[in-house]
């Protein structure tokens, strides 16, 4: 069962989450005695693509048609489905992301593939094909048995800890025919935060709630995030009040994150917020209310005023570096 990894790029290089997906694929390949091909779509530097080899891919298929420069889920799905047919892949792996969800969904539609999202472990291949996924935004897990020829697994961040080797992958260009009807949608405007750490990709996240008292008081939180090289996030009330942009909102109805470290500042920890962050490795809660429910889900806690605590943390981080 050859394995294909849908590999995303950012600024011409493979995204960290996709390198994890390639490594996950390599682990599955090792179990099942097969090999991993990484599919990269869009503009990328060949020197960056060979790095896929360090994470276990033997081959990189690079679809570099000029039409594919901007993400387009329909065209990308067509390329992915064609690559699956070309490589004979029975398992397609991706890191969970908004683009990957859209692309793999369409590919599943054309390949009639079983899709398992939010995968949290390597599959059990000892008796059929079984894999564990998170459900209810991390409040529970379920083992899924797959009874289908082709399967797509969308893997959560931090499921594997890649160990890099020094092996390069061969890069081949891949050029499936692309019909014009894949390009009927027109993007008229893109509004994107630049120069900040991507929240779904981030290893470290600093997040603020209503305890931050207003958008004009965000600076101490931004300072800590900058010192750490962390992404910034917020709770749902904060995004509803327009204190912070909607794409920063983490929780049950927002972005789900699983970073190594999540620092919650002035967030009480409603069950809907916990659902979006409960797969973080380490959770720190700073709140002046010692009874805030978030402390029950935290690894480290500070009961205190965020405006006193945050500058101390920022200074300590700078001292550490």
Partner 1 sequence: MKILVCISSVPDTTSKISFTDGDTKLNKAGVQYIIGPYDDYALARAVELKEQYGASITVLNVGEADAEPQIRKALAIGADDAIRVDTEPTDSYFVAEQIATVAKEGNYDLVLMGRETSDYNSGVVHGIVGEILGIPSFSPVMQLDIENGVAKMTREIEGGKEKLEAPLPLVLGCQEPIAEWKIPNMRGIMTARTKPLKVIPASGEALTSTDKYSLPPAKGACQMIPADEAEKLIELLHKEAKVL
Chain residues 161-200 in contact with partner 1, contact rule CB under 8 A: 184-193, 196, 198-200
**How is 103-116 classified by DSSP, letter by letter?**
HHHHHHHHHT-EEE
Q: Considering beta carbons, is residue 47 or 142 the nearer one to partner 1? A: 142
> With 0-12 CB in 10 A as exposed, 13-18 as middle and 19+ as buried, what is 258?
buried
Binding track, positions 276-305, relative to partner 1; x by CB under 8 A: --xx-xx-xx---------xxxxxxxxxxx
Among residues 37, 118, 232, 235, the one that binds partner 1 under rule CB under 8 A: 118
Q: Kindly state the helix (H) or strand (E) to which residue 7 belongs, with its residue range.
A: strand 3-7
Query: Looking up tokens 């899924």, which residue turns up?
Result: 144
Closest CB to partner 1 among residues 154, 267 = 154
Least Cα distance to 244 among 207, 291, 293 occurs for 207
Q: Which residues from 80-99 bind partner 1, rule CB under 8 A?
A: 97-99
Q: Counting contacts by CB under 8 A, is residue 140 touching partner 1?
A: yes
The answer to whether residue 139 forms part of the interface with partner 1 (CB under 8 A) is yes
Nearest approach, Cβ of 65 to partner 1 (angstroms)?
A: 19
Residue 221 CB, shortest distance to partner 1, in Å, is 14
Asked if 116 is part of the footprint of partner 1 (rule: CB under 8 A), the reply reads yes
Contacts of 308 (CB under 8 A, 6+ apart): none
User: In whole angstroms, what is the distance from residue 269 CA to residue 262 CA?
Assistant: 13
126 binds partner 1 (CB under 8 A): no
Q: Are 314 and 291 in contact (CB under 8 A)?
A: no
Q: What is the smallest separation between the CB atom of 106 and partner 1, expressed in angstroms?
A: 4
| Cβ proximity to partner 1, 47 vs 135, nearer residue | 135
Residues 39-78 that bind partner 1 (CB under 8 A): 73-74, 77
Complex with partner 1: residue 46 or 260, whichever CB lies closer: 260
Residue 44 φ/ψ, nearest 5 degrees: -155, 155
Using CB under 8 A, pick the residue from 1, 2, 114, 122 that binds partner 1.
Answer: 114
Residue 18: CB partners within 8 Å, gap ≥ 6? 5, 6, 7, 8, 9, 38, 94, 95
Write the CA distances from 65 to 70, 100, 107, integer angstroms: 10, 19, 19
Residue of 142, 173, 215, 241 that binds partner 1 (CB under 8 A): 142
Compute the least distance from the CB of residue 276 to partner 1, in Å.
Answer: 10
79 binds partner 1 (CB under 8 A): no
Rule CB under 8 A: say whether 265 interacts with partner 1.
Answer: no
Interface positions, 1-30, toward partner 1 (CB under 8 A): none
CA-nearest of 273, 263, 257 to 298 is 263
* 45 SS3 class: coil
Q: Give residue for tokens 């709770």.
A: 235
* Nearest distance in Å: CB 52, partner 1: 21
Within 198-237, which residues bind partner 1 (CB under 8 A)?
A: 198-200, 203-204, 228
On whether the CB atoms of residues 19 and 55 are closer than 8 A, the answer is: yes
Q: Does 115 interact with partner 1 (rule: CB under 8 A)?
A: yes
Tell which positions 242-261 bind partner 1, by CB under 8 A.
Answer: 245-247, 252-253, 256, 260-261
Q: Report the SS3 class of residue 125.
A: coil
Contacts for 189 with CB less than 8 Å, ≥ 6 apart = none
Kindly indicate which of the ranges 38-46, 50-58, 82-90, 272-280 contains the residues binding partner 1, using the contact rule CB under 8 A: 272-280
């Amino acid at each position: 069962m050859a394995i294909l990894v849908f590999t995303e790029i950012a600024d011409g290089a493979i995204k960290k989450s996709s390198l994890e997906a390639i490594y996950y694929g390599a682990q599955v390949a090792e179990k099942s005695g097969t090999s991993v091909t990484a599919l990269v779509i869009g503009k990328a530097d060949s020197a960056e693509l060979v790095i896929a080899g360090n994470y276990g891919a033997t081959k990189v298929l690079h679809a570099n048609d000029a039409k594919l420069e901007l993400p387009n889920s329909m065209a990308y799905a067509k390329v992915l489905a064609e690559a699956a047919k070309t490589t004979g892949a029975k398992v397609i792996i991706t890191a969970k992301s908004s683009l990957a969800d859209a692309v793999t969904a369409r590919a599943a539609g054309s390949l009639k593939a079983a899709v398992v999202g939010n995968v949290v472990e390597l599959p059990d291949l000892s008796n059929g094909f079984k894999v564990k996924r998170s459900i209810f935004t991390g409040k529970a897990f379920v083992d899924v048995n797959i009874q289908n020829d082709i399967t797509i697994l969308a893997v959560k961040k931090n499921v594997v800890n890649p160990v890099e080797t020094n092996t390069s992958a061969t890069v081949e260009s891949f050029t499936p025919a692309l019909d014009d009807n894949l390009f009927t949608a027109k993007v008229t405007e893109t509004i994107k935060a630049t120069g900040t750490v991507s929240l779904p990709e981030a290893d470290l996240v600093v997040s603020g709630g209503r305890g931050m008292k207003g958008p004009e008081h965000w600076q101490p939180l931004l300072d800590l995030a900058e010192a750490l090289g962390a992404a910034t996030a917020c709770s749902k009330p904060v995004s509803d009040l327009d204190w912070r942009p909607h794409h920063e909102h983490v929780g049950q109805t927002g972005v789900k994150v699983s970073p190594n470290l999540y620092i919650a500042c002035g967030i009480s920890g409603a069950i809907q917020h916990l659902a979006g962050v409960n797969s973080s490795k380490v959770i720190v809660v700073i709140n002046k209310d010692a009874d805030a429910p978030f402390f029950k889900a935290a690894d480290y806690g500070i009961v205190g005023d965020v405006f006193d605590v945050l500058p101390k943390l920022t200074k300590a981080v700078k001292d550490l570096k």
